[in-house]
Structure 1
């Protein structure tokens, strides 16, 4: 990292140019980035929807849903299959693994559906599609003002739709709520009987006509010409003129039936502000820019309105762009406020405008680099990336603060700018790199988080990580360059008087004049072109560069000239007090005076290190209080997004017709009309609505700016309670937030047991205080007529169930027998035979006894299965089957009444039948009261557990409860993984297993402030809060890293333990406070939500980070130094004991060896004779002296290890150092009493007793 800074300082102009280029491209990227509400999420779900007109829910379940479930369960990637069967419709929900390609899943499901197609009823065509946030329309417009919906729909297709489709990025514009036309064939039974025909003959006529048949190729004169027989039907007249074999001669279809194009029975209702309206859904392409598309739509609407008929008006019911714009504006506001607060904090601490500006530049520069990276990576600007950028505003300034603070401190010690800056960066580069890497590393687990949480917050994690990396790069490159240019080489430590400031200005002018004159003299000096002769002559030439610049002579106030250039010692790289061969004074900071700010902290850190046990007890009590606060927290899944619309769901009475549902919805619309806060309201009922049917209505309320969504919801709920005859009304979402409904799924094979269990559970939870409302699937039932056919009697008449069913279908709703394309529009062809509107008429329905079941069955299909596909192109190269033979005249037939071969019974059946994993299930839906999802879930689970469920019935909890449990589990694992990754980085940084544990101690205390502030602000703990806790793992360790790094720095250079701890803590006190305060104050606007409702999703995150930073910073400044002192003291004691043990052992061994040598010498002397006794004694004395000399040498060598420039220590400390033989500067047991003088210097450590 030092090399990076050195290169930057050597190439300052290049760094400035690169910065300007990065700013320019960052601004371009910001303008070009795709803007949307959420990133395009590929949800792990696919849907198979099938229409089966006229069928009851039970019939749909048996004939459509169950065959499809069996086929779809065989797909390997499918994890869960559930379904909903309603009258005339089946929807199978397939859940797959996250990360699986949606396109591949759709292809596999389509193959499975194709295999199940032969088992499905004729005329049912399943459709397969996947779920994605890109399928959400970017805008929904309603059109009112015309009494002729058909004409208005045609006008929209001719004018509005083509014009809006021309907008760049628009994929489709769909018109909903428009009347649908169909080709109706209404049989005249009398005429058919006269001609000897039956309705089955009409059903089969489209098989025999309108299907071009490829007859092969004709080779004529060497040329091959394909031959096609027949032509498609393209008009109603062509259908009416189709020929049928009559009794005497062929008859035309129009002679025995009425053929016309008419409006199909309405299946939906669409109203805006209580008036009938059509809707326009604007869909974007995957790479479309929502904001640009919305602006283009708004720009084109006036022109489109002018081209439409009079009184036609367009109303915007839903538009994503305004909220996205608001979010971007909120980001700018939050950024501005956060920048201002951070700048003020830095200015207060540094008291330097220049240093503050240099530090503040790192915020916009880092954010622009982040936006540029996101743009190049193909990411969009959405709510989650915006939230990450806003959160990062307070964090990206931290590295720059540490660097600039260290540079200013080095400048105050004197020396050249280059040397001071390099010394400062070398001091903090390792610490800020490690701290930034730990903060970035906590986002790595987000890559592996599965489920919806991982999909949503992965862009958030990537954005924050890029911003942090950019801030580190800016701090190590651009900040040093700006400091070199704009910071003074030396700042005064005292306040200068006015006279002294005037003297500085006078000296500056005098020096400037002197420098100009010297430069002028240099320019006038002649330059020698020829080099002197000699091998090394080139070395005598002046070198153009940094050394060629003549240093000016400074004129002092007294008139004495002095050279302003650095001294030779400084120029050579050796500063005063520096280690030999080093560029910087490693212990200069230790000798710096105590500042006013540090004086507020030194007494606390001194007292804490004197009484470490008391400090630890207080810390444990704080941690215990944190654990006690956890159960008091409220929990949620996702917070309110703050959008300005409400969605209200209205469930009508079971069995209500479409007209009756519209009348009940009008009661609710009258309530909306009385609220000035509602800009407009849109009603959708039926198959064309937003996923509803005839028994469900969706009211979408577009609110005016500034309306409190919670207050309005409370008022509406009070009004809804007083309504009669409006069904059940639920405010489904507030401000677009995700549903917090709790779902209890009751599964089993016995319907009666399911009903009993679900009703018991609903009754048990309905009276809970935590529950607002309770609904079950079984509560919505609808009357059904079941035709129970006597198969024996039917067989006696030559009939079967399929034939009878088709006759009944034609008489009631008509039978779809094909499709045609007329004027480029597809239309159904429906055969009507008979008119049944009452039960009596149904029972008296005449069934032809000579009708052939096989003929009827063949006529009921569409496409390849029966009716033909007259109006649609077949795939290239496909040869449709040969048409069925034309129907022949049938003999005169007899009929039987339906009541003669079947019974018609009235029953009550569920409006919908749900399956979970192939079994019938009933869902009990509970809406929690208030914003505490966790408390509601626990209360519901406890109440449900007390219910005695029948045997064979299982109860599972889903909905928001299951999603919350899964999300919290995933985030909890991510939190543990983040701590582990942080620990690994710290071990690599400090090369120790114990010191990183000290740093990790600050993490639990971050939860103290987070939980406490959440309780004070009544903020539930949700997914955004969990992301904030994840961020805190990296953020809070940052302060501890820079603190421990400096203490280790002092210890490596021989400073005594407690001295290093106190001085390291006091020197890091200001940067720690600055970084924490800058981050906190930058997040205050977001936590208060002063910029608007658009940033509400980030508010819990900001609250968690602020609270965690406050508590962790305060405890880090006290607890971390104490733990470090205790740990290192223990290590020193162990080292001293080992050293003393080794010395004692060596001493005894030396004595033993000396005695052995003496005995050996004595024995030798005795053997040689008495004359050698004197010589032996002399040898023993020499051996003893030699052993003593070894110990003396050892002592001298060990004492030489203490650095000459270390702070003064007591004699006992020096003796302990000499005896220990280690790198530590002191051998005290940590109980020495340091005192701080008035000047701020720490005094000599008290003598400690040497261990024995």
Structure 2
């Protein structure tokens, strides 16, 4: 080939090009963003609406339904779901994959404008938010103070830690969680206040109007313009105590009317690190920033901050995404290195020549660096999947170089000069190499047309493999001939290995002779093996994505609705005592009064606690995070009245393993069906912690206003609601400046006057006439059970049952659940059950990747047809594809690996790899036939001649993937199924191909010759 000739004859110029590529590649590597997974865009947006005071049913009718209807009319919308809850609604809008979310969210805002006038006037403008994984924190910290003083700890975090972390490059936001703040409370005795003729609102207005520091214009004095400042600001609690308040009994000090307490704000949420009170920090990175670089900047800044902190103050990392990223990338890089060493070992074993091995070994880093260059300009990031693609490509990278080097080596043994051997050896095999590379690269083309989560994950992997193969093609066609023409040395020694391999070649020639005598028998035996392999399918399960051990366990613990923060804390203490005995736990961080995803409208939930448990390094423990989670799950079952869910290996972007949705019109019927579903699936082996998202209503106090009686006093509903709210929650009258901080001064009715319905009924309301009217005179007060929330999807109410799985694959569990539910549940008319979560994602990915594999087969055939300029020879080569099924099924069976998305991507890659050996073999047979050699003899010569490069390329690919197949290190769980499929599929296919393809070639060639003779005979007769 001309390019090979140019590289051999112009070595200096070509060397300069190679050096330039290496420099550019290394610069690209330095600037490549590093992340755990590729940047993903999820086609989901949310509409959030607040409507204070409204219950779930009102919000469903007045807000959720109108918004659902208008959102459903937007193009590309796949589903609309809503959650209506006291005080607000959350409407989730799911679009089709590939939707431009910037345009979609703009469209959502325009549609909301259409219905703005039909919403209640009290409702503020709904907000539209996109779901963006980059908004999740990359680092979470917990800060503890030696005395457990949360006021000091929070001040320290806000004044000494947060400002310094805000300034780190790449940090978008730092949020403080937990802790408490000082507050001055003015506790009111309503009876005393009433005796002085002062209302709560009047007192608030007086206090607020007296705490002033305002400008008062200016004054001309002695040719100077002097500004006037009026200062009447409170500077101490004494100023509050002595503040004169006008009453109907005369002017009295505020301290006479109220009890003044210097205390802390009421706490609805507490955080603890290993049982010690703490303050949390969540750090978000800017969009497009390098996660590892930002985390390193944070850690460096924390080291500086710690030097200036008071003694005893500790900062612990609860979660650091960069840590797992670095561990995963280190593990994948180590696997790449091991794979390279094993591949080099194979080369040396076959060639027994250090210089030739060094030439191939040198081509690996050049190919890798060139791949980084391609990745940089295509906008990829360096993550577990792109590096996994490189690890998958390590063995394949050297395939092209091996075939060309082996041919050059053979030409040199035949007596060619170094330069001639390099040029002729490359030219003879170059076409086949280009065709074999393109067949592997072209299989990734269909992934472009695949959408969904699987495509978001595996497109970058496919690109990195394709880039590495194109880089290896460049290396093989230019660098290998260049180095071979300079450094290659043919050994004249007849080594023991060469002697042994000659015997293998002779043995293979003998096998070929026997096979070619009975080619139909070879095809029949292969067909029997192919069909028999399908007998293993019942023993191979199905999964979406394999679990990843990130050394992290989460616990969501809940008591019955409306349980107090104190009761929840007692449950947390019980959990803590159990966790102390689990040796794999490094640290435990719990938020008591945790929030859920609906926190925008719901606030905190005092009956709930959320644990973030960090486990020790994988090398320091013998059990996986899933096994540790199972032990925690079993030990926590004994805690009374607690609903506890334990999770591990959560990637954050897949659904629940088991997700069953029941849809219908009546909430109570849905609850009854969901309870029955939970009872049934809990008996299925492998199902853990089934629960529904139906939540019983919270106990509540309902105040029913009698409008007629209230109107006789001149009192309106809004005034009654405001009075009750001020009495129970208090109202901030003013703020007191002290020690550089501003402290809220809250006016609040003493708890002892609002602890019961009877006390609440005595609350006095100011009438316009000056009369004080008790609440029971204008309203009835009852204790009730209000609905908690109403969930809807596609305009129907729904309840979802979720569960985790353990020690069984997702496909088997889902099939058993479907069969059991079909047999044991009879649904009322208008109700239906559907499966979602990971099962839905898995089925969607299987369907789309299955289509991609079918399209890849067609594309591979088309590439080979273009290369050979024939439909006949590619048709023969394609017979090497189905035989991979034997190895794939055997591999999945013996490694107990379910068939998942990773396995399907491995099959896709294997489709392009497996034909390469057949291409090399057929190409040489065609060359020999073009020289007049008989088909039978051409096969007998081509097979043994191409045996060495075929075995070398197959073994380097197989051994290069062995470390990934064994799953060494963190973060390799996703690549492991792909590696298993390729290793076993290629192993079986290589040995079958060596006898099957020659047999098929001979049969088809004989048939072709007979047909040609028959046509010729007919033509002669007709003439």
TM-score (norm 2): 0.88
Q: How much does 1:948 deviate? A: 0.4
Secondary structure at the aligned position of 1:974 is classed as helix
Q: How much does 1:1136 deviate? A: 0.4
The residue number in structure 2 matching 1:660 is 567
1:902-946 alpha-carbon deviations (Å, 9 max, x no partner)? 351422644x43221233211111222324000111111222223
Q: For 1:242 and 1:95, how far apart are their aligned partners in 2?
A: 58
The residue number in structure 2 matching 1:1154 is none
Q: How much does 1:1123 deviate? A: 1.6
Q: How much does 1:367 deviate? A: 0.8
Q: How much does 1:604 deviate? A: 2.0
Matches within 5 A, 1:343-358: 343-358=344-359
Q: For 1:25 and 1:196, how far apart are their aligned partners in 2?
A: 83
The residue number in structure 1 matching 2:897 is 1019
Q: Which runs of 5+ in 1 are unaligned?
A: 212-229, 497-592, 851-889, 1147-1252
Query: Is the CA contact (8 Å cut-off) linking 1:138 and 1:320 kept in structure 2?
Result: yes
The residue number in structure 2 matching 1:685 is 592
Query: Is the CA contact (8 Å cut-off) linking 1:819 and 1:826 kept in structure 2?
Result: yes
Query: Is the CA contact (8 Å cut-off) linking 1:235 and 1:822 kept in structure 2?
Result: no
1:1170-1212 alpha-carbon deviations (Å, 9 max, x no partner)? xxxxxxxxxxxxxxxxxxxxxxxxxxxxxxxxxxxxxxxxxxx
Query: Is the CA contact (8 Å cut-off) linking 2:333 and 2:387 kept in structure 1?
Result: no
The residue number in structure 2 matching 1:772 is 688
The residue number in structure 2 matching 1:699 is 611
Q: 1:103 to 1:186 in 2, by over 3 A?
A: farther
Query: Is the CA contact (8 Å cut-off) linking 1:236 and 1:261 kept in structure 2?
Result: no
Q: 1:190 to 1:353 in 2, by over 3 A?
A: same
The residue number in structure 2 matching 1:1116 is 993
Matches within 5 A, 1:971-1120: 971-1090=849-968, 1092-1120=969-997
Moved more, 797-806 or 179-188: 179-188
Q: 1:207 to 1:741 in 2, by over 3 A?
A: farther
Q: For 1:1054 and 1:817, how far apart are their aligned partners in 2?
A: 104
Secondary structure at the aligned position of 1:684 is classed as strand
TM-score (norm 1): 0.72
Secondary structure at the aligned position of 2:908 is classed as helix
Q: For 1:248 and 1:67, how far apart are their aligned partners in 2?
A: 56
1:233-260 alpha-carbon deviations (Å, 9 max, x no partner)? 9999999999999999999999999999
Query: Is the CA contact (8 Å cut-off) linking 1:185 and 1:257 kept in structure 2?
Result: yes
The residue number in structure 1 matching 2:135 is 135
Q: 1:840 to 1:494 in 2, by over 3 A?
A: closer
Q: For 1:1036 and 1:1054, how far apart are their aligned partners in 2?
A: 29
The residue number in structure 2 matching 1:443 is 444
The residue number in structure 2 matching 1:1195 is none
The residue number in structure 2 matching 1:300 is 301
Secondary structure at the aligned position of 1:1055 is classed as coil
Query: Is the CA contact (8 Å cut-off) linking 1:175 and 1:278 kept in structure 2?
Result: yes
Q: 1:840 to 1:13 in 2, by over 3 A?
A: same
The residue number in structure 1 matching 2:37 is 38
The residue number in structure 1 matching 2:659 is 743
Secondary structure at the aligned position of 2:836 is classed as strand
Moved more, 689-698 or 167-176: 689-698
> Would you say 1:914 and 2:791 are equivalent positions?
yes
Tell me how many residue pairs correspond in the alignment.
989
The residue number in structure 1 matching 2:219 is none
Matches within 5 A, 1:75-224: 75-76=74-75, 78-86=77-85, 90-110=89-109, 116=116, 119=119, 122=122, 127-145=127-145, 146-179=147-180
Q: 1:848 to 1:165 in 2, by over 3 A?
A: closer
Query: Is the CA contact (8 Å cut-off) linking 1:665 and 1:726 kept in structure 2?
Result: no
Q: How much does 1:736 deviate? A: 4.8
Q: 1:332 to 1:1018 in 2, by over 3 A?
A: same
Q: How much does 1:771 deviate? A: 1.9
Secondary structure at the aligned position of 1:600 is classed as helix
The residue number in structure 1 matching 2:645 is 730
Moved more, 999-1008 or 310-319: 999-1008
The residue number in structure 1 matching 2:516 is 609
Q: How much does 1:804 deviate? A: 4.1
Secondary structure at the aligned position of 2:694 is classed as helix
Q: For 1:781 and 1:278, how far apart are their aligned partners in 2?
A: 31
Query: Is the CA contact (8 Å cut-off) linking 1:37 and 1:383 kept in structure 2?
Result: yes
Q: Which runs of 5+ in 2 are unaligned?
A: 213-228
Q: For 1:19 and 1:482, how far apart are their aligned partners in 2?
A: 12
1:964-1012 alpha-carbon deviations (Å, 9 max, x no partner)? 1112122112212222221221221222233323222222221221221
Larger radius of gyration: 1
Moved more, 9-18 or 46-55: 46-55
Q: For 2:926 and 2:563, how far apart are their aligned partners in 1?
A: 79
Q: 1:695 to 1:972 in 2, by over 3 A?
A: farther
Q: How much does 1:781 deviate? A: 4.9
Matches within 5 A, 1:542-691: 595-687=502-594
Q: How much does 1:360 deviate? A: 1.8
Secondary structure at the aligned position of 1:299 is classed as helix
The residue number in structure 1 matching 2:1021 is 1144
Secondary structure at the aligned position of 2:974 is classed as helix
Q: For 1:204 and 1:1049, how far apart are their aligned partners in 2?
A: 101
Matches within 5 A, 1:223-372: 263-372=264-373
Moved more, 176-185 or 311-320: 176-185
The residue number in structure 1 matching 2:20 is 21
Q: 1:753 to 1:739 in 2, by over 3 A?
A: closer
Q: 1:87 to 1:417 in 2, by over 3 A?
A: same
Q: How much does 1:1082 deviate? A: 0.7
Residue of structure 2 aligned with 1:954, choices 805, 808, 832: 832
Moved more, 470-479 or 86-95: 86-95
Q: 1:1063 to 1:428 in 2, by over 3 A?
A: same
Moved more, 354-363 or 199-208: 199-208
Q: 1:999 to 1:259 in 2, by over 3 A?
A: farther
Q: For 1:378 and 1:244, how far apart are their aligned partners in 2?
A: 69
Q: For 2:61 and 2:787, how far apart are their aligned partners in 1?
A: 14
Q: 1:154 to 1:89 in 2, by over 3 A?
A: farther
Q: 1:121 to 1:210 in 2, by over 3 A?
A: farther
Query: Is the CA contact (8 Å cut-off) linking 2:563 and 2:607 kept in structure 1?
Result: yes
Q: For 2:116 and 2:331, how far apart are their aligned partners in 1?
A: 52
Q: For 2:882 and 2:662, how far apart are their aligned partners in 1?
A: 40
Q: How much does 1:1112 deviate? A: 1.4
Query: Is the CA contact (8 Å cut-off) linking 1:740 and 1:933 kept in structure 2?
Result: no
Q: For 1:479 and 1:711, how far apart are their aligned partners in 2?
A: 49
Query: Is the CA contact (8 Å cut-off) linking 2:235 and 2:737 kept in structure 1?
Result: no
Q: For 1:996 and 1:899, how far apart are their aligned partners in 2?
A: 93
Secondary structure at the aligned position of 1:1093 is classed as coil
Q: For 2:141 and 2:132, how far apart are their aligned partners in 1?
A: 21
Q: For 2:108 and 2:249, how far apart are their aligned partners in 1?
A: 52
Q: How much does 1:439 deviate? A: 0.8
Secondary structure at the aligned position of 1:91 is classed as strand
1:645-665 alpha-carbon deviations (Å, 9 max, x no partner)? 222222333321222212212
The residue number in structure 2 matching 1:219 is none
Secondary structure at the aligned position of 1:1070 is classed as helix
Q: For 1:132 and 1:189, how far apart are their aligned partners in 2?
A: 50
Query: Is the CA contact (8 Å cut-off) linking 1:1086 and 1:1099 kept in structure 2?
Result: yes
Query: Is the CA contact (8 Å cut-off) linking 1:318 and 1:702 kept in structure 2?
Result: yes
Q: 1:1110 to 1:726 in 2, by over 3 A?
A: farther
Query: Is the CA contact (8 Å cut-off) linking 2:211 and 2:234 kept in structure 1?
Result: no
Q: For 2:538 and 2:243, how far apart are their aligned partners in 1?
A: 78
Query: Is the CA contact (8 Å cut-off) linking 1:664 and 1:726 kept in structure 2?
Result: no
Q: How much does 1:310 deviate? A: 2.7
Q: 1:438 to 1:833 in 2, by over 3 A?
A: same
Q: For 1:89 and 1:837, how far apart are their aligned partners in 2?
A: 26
Secondary structure at the aligned position of 2:131 is classed as strand
Q: 1:336 to 1:75 in 2, by over 3 A?
A: same
